[in-house]
Amino acid sequence: MHWTPKIPRSRGAVSGMALVLLGLWGGLVPFAGPYFGYAYTPARAWTYTPGRLWLEVLPAAGVVVSGVMVLATRSRLIALAGGVLGAVGATWFIVGRAVSELWNVHGASAAGLPAGAPQVRVLEQIGFFDGLGVACLFLAAFALGRFLVVGVRDVKDLSRRWESAGASHVPAGSAAVPASEPMAMMSGPSLKARLGTRSSRPLIRAVPNAVLLSAIAVLAAASVTVTAWNVGWIGPPLKPRFTSPARAGFVAGSDGRFAITTANFSGRLTERGVLPAGLVFQRAASGAAAISGVPSAGSGGAYSVSVTAASPAGRPVSQTLTIVVDEVPRLIASKTSQWGIVFDHMTFRITVLGYPVPRIALVGKLPAGLVLKVYGRIATISGKIHLSWLKTLEAGAAIVFAVLTGGSSIVGLLGTAADVGNVGYGTLYSALSITVVASNSSGITKLPLTLRILGPI
């Protein structure tokens, strides 16, 4: 009977269960953490990003699988493979952020930035990556140590198995092992004499505990050093960085506030640029600032402001902040009612306000010869009125006859559009109503206009 690498399942119970729990934490916290204000950017729950997949979900899945392998198997080889898999996943938790800068198009970590308050950011770095990786690496190394070493219990179990097998199964040249004499000596000659030729080449060889503990200590020390370096406890001063978005949104006429936050900075931020009317820049001494106020009417648009943090590690760090003020469209016309004479040129001029730039549409039919044109924020209704405008009148429209005498006019109702041919000498007058409509993402505005047209008969 030969020795086989079988172990009791209880040996990996603690480390396996701990690896499973830590792996579940590492895979779920990026998606559920924003509910509790514990997140990396983008700080939105259940939001997928490639960085979360490669840097958090995949290593977490590896740690969970390694924990199940360590927890459930009786095979020493499978348990060792699980320990190695857990160590690889834990190492990726620690170094993955730095390595992701090689493939990320922006040259920054694909993991994003800690999104919490300054006091919470250290805990976020530890709980998402560095501390989690150190804990998983320690447990994986502990599991490897448990399964690499052939302990006294393994030797006693093997002795009992030899004893129960009987002397007839003992290989030639080897002695049976009494149950009262456990094989406590792990030296080569003692073990070879009892196990025979095939068992003298075991699949798993004993590793001294001192070497294993030294390896665990080195890995843990390296992980702690990386964490301390990333947090800024050791090493040169870290450059400041902005953790707030580079875009702020406001609505004209409504009170709003946008917080500017930083990491690795506790001084006063400075700004350069023109803010929208009604907004002010509020400084704080803790590396934060805010833009707040009520944007004035007519201030809709996009503005650029440069915010700077002085850096003790080198040149100042700046962020270009885009401030967008949305505004409901407004239409301003010099006149809402205008006279026009057939064959003469006439123009309606309308100023268009609002942001985003509104789209202009017309409700109603213009007389022949007039057209609507839009030039940026200026809309015009212009042209020469054709005599054919009479043919566009709907049956039943009111027709007014005006007799011009010495600068005064006498106006009387003559009939309907069907009576045009019966109107005698004088001037034909008609009032047409149209509506100019401006719309954007903030709302819709309508401006009614009246065209009063005179034409000879």
Is 120 inside any structural domain?
yes
What does the pLDDT read at residue 182? 44
Q: What gap in Å lies between CA 412 and CA 423, rounded to an integer?
A: 12
What does the pLDDT read at residue 56? 92
The answer on 107 and 222 residing in a single domain is yes
What does the pLDDT read at residue 61? 93
Is 66 inside any structural domain?
yes
Is 341 inside any structural domain?
yes
3-state secondary structure of 15: helix
* Strands annotated E in 130-238: none
Radius of gyration of the chain (CA): 41
* pLDDT beneath 70: ranges in the chain: 1-6, 9, 105-107, 118, 149-238, 285, 311-314, 338-344, 385-431, 453-457
The answer on 302 and 433 residing in a single domain is no
Q: How many separate domains does the chain show? A: 3
The answer on 451 and 382 residing in a single domain is yes
What does the pLDDT read at residue 420? 41
Asked if 257 and 290 count as a contact pair (C-beta separation under 8 A), the reply is yes
> What pLDDT digit, counting tens, does each position of 216-237 carry?
666 666 666 666 666 555 555 5
The answer on 110 and 257 residing in a single domain is no
Is 299 inside any structural domain?
yes
The answer on 97 and 19 residing in a single domain is yes
Residue 242 burial (CB < 10 Å; 0-12/13-18/19+)?
buried
Is 291 inside any structural domain?
yes
Q: What gap in Å lies between CA 289 and CA 44, rounded to an integer?
A: 23
The answer on 140 and 26 residing in a single domain is yes
Q: What gap in Å lies between CA 69 and CA 189, rounded to an integer?
A: 33
* pTM assigned to the model: 0.44
The answer on 430 and 388 residing in a single domain is yes
CATH number at residue 390: 2.60.40.10
Pairing of strands 443-456, 337-341: parallel
Structural domain harbouring 282: 241-326
Q: Among residues 297, 326, 355, which one ends one of the domains? A: 326
Q: What gap in Å lies between CA 58 and CA 150, rounded to an integer?
A: 32
The answer on 209 and 109 residing in a single domain is yes
Is 128 inside any structural domain?
yes
Is 401 inside any structural domain?
yes
The answer on 341 and 314 residing in a single domain is no
Close Cβ partners of 31 (under 8 Å, ≥ 6 residues apart): 45, 46, 47, 52
* Strands annotated E in 356-396: 359-363, 370-375, 378-384
Asked if 385 and 343 count as a contact pair (C-beta separation under 8 A), the reply is yes
The answer on 393 and 253 residing in a single domain is no
